[in-house]
């Protein structure tokens, strides 16, 4: 579940075109039959956007294994852009995450029955890493396209934050010139929300459209826009 801090980091590598975009989605967890993150991500496997090709990978909802699967996919594909996607049941919007924190604190078991409490994702790692995606520009483009979206300032402390931290730690400690990465939480599908009256949801069609916008914005926008994505609490 934990991995050692590697130091010192090797010099940055530079990757050549054609560009590869890695999208990951999670397997279902907690009594759900499906996970919208994988349902949406798999739709974009093979999508060619400009000079880039999208590769979709399924990752397990298991502490440790999720990061191992992500890093294996990064080693295989050597992508220039990595977007990890996960379900946030109860959220009403498509939410790019701002920050990954170095803590696993499970309120429910992962798919192997693990429930770590206050364990670092990476012992000795920094407290947090910021997403290197243009999250504000992304939210602006999503809203302009009619997709409800906001910056989220917490990815929680379960497997999504875990893989997000693992991703950003890899990018920080094994730098690749131009490589960017981050995490996006997405709502329930309507079919899932129907079991929880009052819970918000988003159609698969809208999620796929939103993911396309997230990818194109990440490829096109180098410097994020200065717009608030803050919250009072
Ligand atoms: N959502 C969970 C883990 C897997 C997923 O899709 C989370 O938010 O941590």
Segments making up each domain of the chain, as ranges: 19-220
Instruction: Check residue 200 and give its pLDDT.
Output: 98
Q: Is residue 67 a contact partner of residue 3, using CB atoms and an 8 Å limit?
A: yes
Q: Domain 19-220 classified CATH 3.90.1150.10?
A: no
Omega before residue 18 within 30° of 0, cis: yes
141 catalytic? Reply is no
Asked whether the predicted pLDDT for residue 22 surpasses 80, the reply is yes
Instruction: Check residue 212 and give its pLDDT.
Output: 98
- Give 18's pLDDT tier (boundaries 50, 70, 90): confident
**Residue 86's closest CA among 105, 110, 120?**
110
Per the prediction, the chain carries an average pLDDT of 94
Q: 1 is written with which tokens?
A: 């579940």
Please identify, by atom number, the ligand 1 atom nearest to the C-alpha of residue 161.
9
Asked whether the predicted pLDDT for residue 6 surpasses 70, the reply is no
* Nearby residues of 11 by Cβ (< 8 Å), 6 or more positions away: 175
Q: Is residue 152 a contact partner of residue 173, using CB atoms and an 8 Å limit?
A: no
Pocket test for ligand 1, best of 30, 61, 165 (most atoms within 8 A of CB): 61
Asked whether the predicted pLDDT for residue 14 surpasses 60, the reply is no
Please identify, by atom number, the ligand 1 atom nearest to the C-alpha of residue 37.
6
Mean pLDDT value of segment 154-174: 98
Q: Report pLDDT digits (tens) over 54-112.
A: 999 999 999 999 999 999 999 999 999 999 999 999 999 999 999 999 999 999 999 99
What are the E-state strand segments in the chain?
Answer: 13-14, 19-26, 48-49, 52-59, 81-87, 95-96, 99-101, 128-130, 176-177, 180-186
pTM of the full predicted structure? 0.94
Burial profile 134-164: b = 16 or more Cβ within 10 angstroms, e = fewer: bbbbbbbbbeeeebbbbbbeebbbbbbbbbb
Pocket test for ligand 1, best of 23, 87, 104, 165 (most atoms within 8 A of CB): 87
Instruction: Check residue 55 and give its pLDDT.
Output: 98
Instruction: Check residue 10 and give its pLDDT.
Output: 52
Q: Report pLDDT digits (tens) over 206-218.
A: 999 999 999 999 9
- Give 16's pLDDT tier (boundaries 50, 70, 90): low
Rounded percentage of the chain residues whose pLDDT exceeds 70: 93
185 catalytic? Reply is yes
């Amino acid at each position: 579940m934990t991995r050692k801090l590697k130091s010192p980091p090797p010099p940055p590598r530079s990757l050549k075109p054609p560009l590869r975009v890695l999208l990951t989605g999670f397997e279902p967890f907690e009594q759900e039959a499906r996970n919208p993150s994988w349902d949406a991500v798999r739709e974009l496997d093979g999508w060619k956007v400009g000079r880039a090709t999208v590769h979709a990978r399924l990752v397990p909802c298991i502490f440790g294994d999720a990061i191992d699967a992500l890093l294996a996919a990064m080693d295989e594909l050597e992508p220039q852009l990595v977007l990890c996607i996960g379900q946030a049941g109860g959220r009403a919007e498509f939410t790019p995450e701002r920050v990954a924190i170095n803590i696993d604190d499970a309120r429910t078991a992962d798919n192997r029955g693990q429930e770590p409490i206050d364990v670092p994702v990476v012992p000795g790692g920094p407290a947090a890493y910021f997403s290197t995606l243009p999250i504000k520009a992304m939210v602006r483009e999503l809203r302009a396209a009619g997709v409800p979206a906001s910056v989220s300032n917490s990815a929680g402390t379960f497997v999504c934050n875990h893989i997000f931290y693992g991703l950003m730690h890899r990018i920080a400690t094994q730098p690749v010139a131009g490589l960017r990465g981050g995490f996006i939480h997405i709502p329930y599908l309507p079919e899932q929300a129907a079991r929880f009256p009052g819970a918000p949801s988003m159609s698969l069609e809208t999620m796929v459209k939103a993911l396309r916008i997230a990818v194109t914005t990440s490829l096109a926008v180098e410097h994020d826009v200065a717009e608030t994505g803050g919250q009072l609490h």
